[in-house]
């Protein structure tokens, strides 16, 4: 199922590098959230435990290290030496099952625990489909579907990245999809979030940072400083590279008030991950215009549950107003004739150096995507003046 340390999302490695540099003593806790209320068959936890334990055998190969270093010259060689010595520690992962309910919790130093989320989610999906004996469409159909999609996107004149590792049907389906996108997606397919797939099919690894980066900053510095210091620290590490800022950890309205002129000029654009994409586009365009910046010189990366109809609607609206690109996940890697899983695995607490365990939350532009304790969400809304 997972045979490479690089079978993970690019932004996990870029964040890990930044955590090693800036917060090496910080700790973190993560919790599995079963949004789709999926019922897990008897013995599922045991199978997941075996798969998680098996990840301890993975290590960065010399070929992978050389590829990663050559592809990302803005990351210091010391990180790749560190990654070559990194091993998953299954003792950081706690798995339980009560009837049809699954519990997965992760705890450890943040720089270590940060790599668990994506592979565990992909393992949960693949094992679920196997144990439920749900038969997917044949390979030929998977390839045909992916080809038809990327050709339609190419005809639409947009650029597309594949973001589907965490909720993929299986490694095999993921491989078939990226291979097809690469083969038939000339001028449209620009890369994948999965570093292993990027290496295998000689395309770009795509990504910057995730919500947990800003969630940790809130635990350490407070909600009002989380976006600002999160982006300042990111720019301190990457010096202008990896310049797409995630905008909805504490609502996009709060983000744009904290996205000052320096950061607005420095970052290449913003990523939309919740709420109405057209409303967000208007907010971004207005923000750049107010800062005296041509919106066409910046880019919005749209990545919220996209399919062709949504992309077409967004593209037609944004054309000639602001730069745009699209990251598509589940609709690529789990469109095989079965219901895709709706699961997440999120940071729930952070332990900054010389502090204490602190609950962390996410306040997306879509209420259904909020995560965290109710009282902490209420506190954050009060502090940030969110109604």
Residues 165 and 128 in one domain: no
**384 domain-assigned:** no
**378 domain-assigned:** no
Per-residue pLDDT of the chain (387 residues; tens, 9 = 90+): 999 999 999 999 999 999 999 999 999 999 999 999 999 999 999 999 999 999 999 999 999 999 999 999 999 999 999 999 999 999 999 999 999 999 999 999 999 999 999 999 999 999 999 999 889 999 999 999 999 999 999 999 999 999 999 999 999 999 999 999 999 999 999 999 999 999 999 999 999 999 999 999 999 999 999 999 999 999 999 999 999 999 999 999 999 999 999 999 999 999 999 999 999 999 999 999 999 999 999 999 999 999 999 999 999 999 999 999 999 999 999 999 999 999 999 999 999 998 899 999 999 998 777 899 999 999 999 999 998
Give pTM, 2 decimals.
Answer: 0.97
Using one digit for the tens of pLDDT, what is the confidence trace for 359-369? 999 999 987 77
**43 domain-assigned:** yes
The distance in angstroms from the start CA to the end CA of the chain is 44
Residues 290 and 216 in one domain: yes
**5 domain-assigned:** no
How many domains does one find in the chain?
2
- pLDDT on residue 133: 86
Residues 100 and 153 in one domain: no
Residues 166 and 54 in one domain: no
Residues 166 and 304 in one domain: yes
DSSP state of 307: -
CATH classification of the domain holding 294: 3.20.140.10
User: CA 223, CA 242: separation in Å to the nearest integer?
Assistant: 23
Residues 107 and 231 in one domain: no
Using one digit for the tens of pLDDT, what is the confidence trace for 97-111? 999 999 999 999 999
Q: Which residues contact 227 (CB under 8 A, 6 or more apart)?
A: 214, 217, 249, 250, 254, 255, 258, 259
Q: List the strands of the sheet with 299-302, edge to edge.
A: 189-192, 160-162, 323-328, 299-302, 269-272, 244-246
Residues 193 and 89 in one domain: no
Residues 73 and 211 in one domain: no
Residues of the domain holding 296? 139-333
Percent of the chain with pLDDT over 90: 97
């Amino acid at each position: 199922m997972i045979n490479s340390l690089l079978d993970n999302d690019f932004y996990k490695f870029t964040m890990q590098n930044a955590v090693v540099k800036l917060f090496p003593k910080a700790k973190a806790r993560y919790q599995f959230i079963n949004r789709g209320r999926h019922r897990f068959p008897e013995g599922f936890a045991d199978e997941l435990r075996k798969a998680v334990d098996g990840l301890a055998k993975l290590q960065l190969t010399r070929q992978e290290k050389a590829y990663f270093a050559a592809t990302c010259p803005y990351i210091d060689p010391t990180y790749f030496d560190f990654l070559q010595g990194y091993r998953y520690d299954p003792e950081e992962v706690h798995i339980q099952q009560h009837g049809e309910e699954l519990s997965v919790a992760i705890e450890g130093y943040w720089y270590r625990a940060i790599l668990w989320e994506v592979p565990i989610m992909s393992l949960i999906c693949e094992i679920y489909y196997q144990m439920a004996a749900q038969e997917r469409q044949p390979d030929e159909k998977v390839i045909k579907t992916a080809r038809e999609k990327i050709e339609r996107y190419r005809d639409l004149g947009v650029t597309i990245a594949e973001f589907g590792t965490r909720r993929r049907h299986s490694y095999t389906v993921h491989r078939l999809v990226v291979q097809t996108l690469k083969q038939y997606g000339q001028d449209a397919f620009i890369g994948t979030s999965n570093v292993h797939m990027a290496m295998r099919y000689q395309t770009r690894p795509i990504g910057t940072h995730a919500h947990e980066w800003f969630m940790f900053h809130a635990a350490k510095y407070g909600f009002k400083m989380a976006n600002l210091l999160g982006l300042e620290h990111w720019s301190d590490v990457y010096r202008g590279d990896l310049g797409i800022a995630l905008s909805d950890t504490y609502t996009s309205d709060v983000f744009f008030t904290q996205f000052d002129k320096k950061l607005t000029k420095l970052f290449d654009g913003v990523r939309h991950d919740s709420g109405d994409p057209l409303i967000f586009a208007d907010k971004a365009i207005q923000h750049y215009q107010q800062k005296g910046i041509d919106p066409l010189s910046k880019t919005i990366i749209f990545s919220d549950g996209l399919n062709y109809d949504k992309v077409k609607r967004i593209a037609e609206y944004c054309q000639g107003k602001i730069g745009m690109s699209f990251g598509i996940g589940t609709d690529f890697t789990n469109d095989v004739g079965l219901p895709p899983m709706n699961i997440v695995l999120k940071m729930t607490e952070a332990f900054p150096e010389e502090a204490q365990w602190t609950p962390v939350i996410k306040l997306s532009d879509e209420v259904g995507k909020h995560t965290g304790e109710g009282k902490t969400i209420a506190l954050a809304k009060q502090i940030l003046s969110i109604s």
